[in-house]
C-alpha cells in the first residue's frame, strides 16, 4: 500500500509487537482535527495506523481505511477522526485482553539483570552475524553484550543518536577482538530489532541502553516466515545510512 508516497509493507506481527506499535501510534499522534490540507506527517501517521489496524483485523481495516482517506480528503473530518481514534483504542483493548501466554519474555521495571541475561543468551547464539537496529544504542553495547560473541561473528549496528561514540568503540573492539564490526547512522529509525544469523528476528520494547530500568519492556520473536521480509526492510535502511 502506498500512502502519500510512503510505502507500507504488510508483515505478520506478534501480538505484543502490534500492541506496542498501536500504543506508540497514540503517543505520536500529530494534529489531525480542523480544516486544511494535511502535510506529510499526517499522511504518514494515517498510513502507519492503517497498516497496524489491518494487522489486527482485516475486516475492521476496511472501515478504518475509508475513514482515514476521508480525513485526508477533508471530508467530514471530525466525524471520521472519531471513528479512527475509537478503532485504534478498540484494537489496543482487544490485544491487551487476548495476549497469548507465549509472547516472548516480558521484563518489569527494575528487572535490568533479567533482561541483560536474556539478551546475552540470545546474542551468544549467533554463529555468523548479528544485526542490531536501535536508535538510542550507545557504546555500552560492547561491554554489555557484544563481548559475548565468538571472534568469527560479524556485527552491524544501525544507530541514530550516539553514532560517533559507538563508531569509536567499534574500532577499538574490532582491533582487539578481531570481529568485523560496522556502524551506520540513520535518522529513519523507530523500532529496536535484532537479527541473529539473518535467520531470527527479535523485537525489543525499549532501547537496549535503558531496557527494564524504569519501564517494562519485552523481547519478542518475529514469526520465522516473515524474517526475510523484515530483514529486507532494514537492509534498505542500512544501505541508505551513513558511516559513523
For the segment 221-243, what is each residue's pLDDT rounded down to a tens digit? Answer: 887 777 888 899 999 999 999 98
Q: Where are the domains of the chain?
A: 2-97, 105-243
CATH number for domain 105-243, candidates 1.20.1440.230, 3.30.870.10, 3.30.70.1290, 3.10.105.10? 3.30.870.10
Query: Minimal CA–CA distance to 131: which of 82, 54, 183?
Result: 183
pLDDT at 156 over 50: yes
**HSE, side-chain direction, 13 A CA sphere, residue 178:** 5
Q: Please tell me the predicted confidence (pLDDT) of residue 182.
A: 95
Task: Kindly indicate the confidence band of residue 167, based on its pLDDT and cuts at 50, 70 and 90.
Answer: very high
Is the pLDDT assigned to residue 9 strictly greater than 60?
no
pTM recorded for the entire structure:
0.62
| Model confidence at 4: pLDDT above 50 | no
Amino acid at each position: 500500500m502506498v500512502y502519500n508516497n510512503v510505502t507500507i509493507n504488510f508483515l505478520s506481527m506478534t501480538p505484543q509487537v502490534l500492541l506496542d506499535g498501536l500504543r506508540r501510534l497514540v503517543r505520536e499522534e500529530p494534529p489531525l482535527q480542523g480544516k486544511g490540507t494535511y502535510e506529510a506527517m499526517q499522511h504518514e501517521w494515517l498510513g502507519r495506523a492503517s497498516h497496524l489496524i489491518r494487522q489486527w483485523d482485516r475486516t475492521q481495516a476496511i472501515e478504518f481505511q475509508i475513514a482515514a482517506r476521508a480525513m485526508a480528503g477533508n471530508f467530514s473530518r471530525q466525524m471520521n477522526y472519531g471513528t479512527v481514534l475509537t478503532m485504534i483504542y478498540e484494537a489496543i483493548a482487544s490485544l491487551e485482553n487476548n495476549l497469548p501466554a507465549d509472547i516472548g519474555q516480558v521484563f518489569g521495571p527494575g528487572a535490568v539483570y533479567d533482561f541483560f541475561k536474556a539478551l546475552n543468551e540470545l546474542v551468544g547464539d549467533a554463529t555468523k552475524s548479528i544485526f542490531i537496529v536501535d536508535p538510542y544504542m550507545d557504546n555500552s553495547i560492547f561491554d554489555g553484550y557484544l563481548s559475548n560473541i565468538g571472534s568469527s561473528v560479524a556485527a552491524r549496528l544501525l544507530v541514530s543518536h550516539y553514532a560517533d561514540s559507538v563508531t569509536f568503540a567499534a574500532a577499538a573492539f574490532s582491533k582487539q577482538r578481531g570481529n568485523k564490526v560496522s556502524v551506520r547512522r540513520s535518522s529513519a529509525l523507530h523500532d529496536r530489532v535484532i537479527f541473529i544469523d539473518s535467520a531470527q528476528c527479535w523485537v525489543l520494547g525499549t532501547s537496549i541502553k535503558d531496557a527494564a530500568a524504569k519501564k517494562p519492556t519485552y523481547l519478542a520473536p518475529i514469526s520465522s516466515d516473515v524474517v526475510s521480509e523484515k530483514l529486507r526492510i532494514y537492509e534498505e535502511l542500512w544501505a541508505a545510512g551513513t558511516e559513523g
